[in-house]
Amino acid sequence: MSQITVDSAKIMVVDDDDDVRLMIAQFLNAKGFQVIQASSSNEAQQLALETLPELILMDIGMPHVDGLTAVWQMRDYPQLAEIPVIIVSAYDSYDLRAEAASTGCQGYLTKPLEPEHLHQVINEVLQKEATPTNPV
């Protein structure tokens, strides 16, 4: 993964709800992030391969391919496998959170979102990814 500059990281927002996706994108743009928007899992996969975002915000409840399945599919691509993903969904259950964790997702946020909490979680994940690890 490339060196991440937290303040201007490239973030992909994946949500089939245009209003939600646009609201999140506008908030992130105002915070200085570069934002890529996708309205479906298939579009997200294609755009992720083309743009290699530093973080993906993924909705679960989308037509055709749900967000968790999309994360599993993205993990099959070496260039996408290490991109951190935060689930952003109206659905919340222990099973969904466990499945998200099993895909390697770094967070799970429920809608409606509190924008500043979203910003905090994004910064925490990006800072963790940007912190170099020393091999033992």
Is the predicted pLDDT of residue 2 greater than 60, yes or no? no
In the chain, what are the domains? 6-130 (3.40.50.2300)
Answer yes or no: are the C-beta atoms of 107 and 119 closer than 8 Å: no
Tens-digit pLDDT profile for residues 83-104: 999 999 999 999 999 999 999 9
Task: Give the integer Cα–Cα distance in Å for 135 and 112.
Answer: 40
Residue type for 49, please? L
- pTM passes above 0.75: yes
CB atoms within 10 A of CB 54: 25
Task: Give the integer Cα–Cα distance in Å for 115 and 112.
Answer: 9
Percentage of the chain lying above the pLDDT 90 cut: 87
CA dihedral 25, 88, 119, 50 (to 10 degrees): -50
Tens-digit pLDDT profile for residues 35-48: 999 999 999 999 99
Is the predicted pLDDT of residue 1 greater than 50, yes or no? no
Which of 113, 60, 116 minimizes the C-alpha distance to 85?
A: 60
Residues in the chain: 136
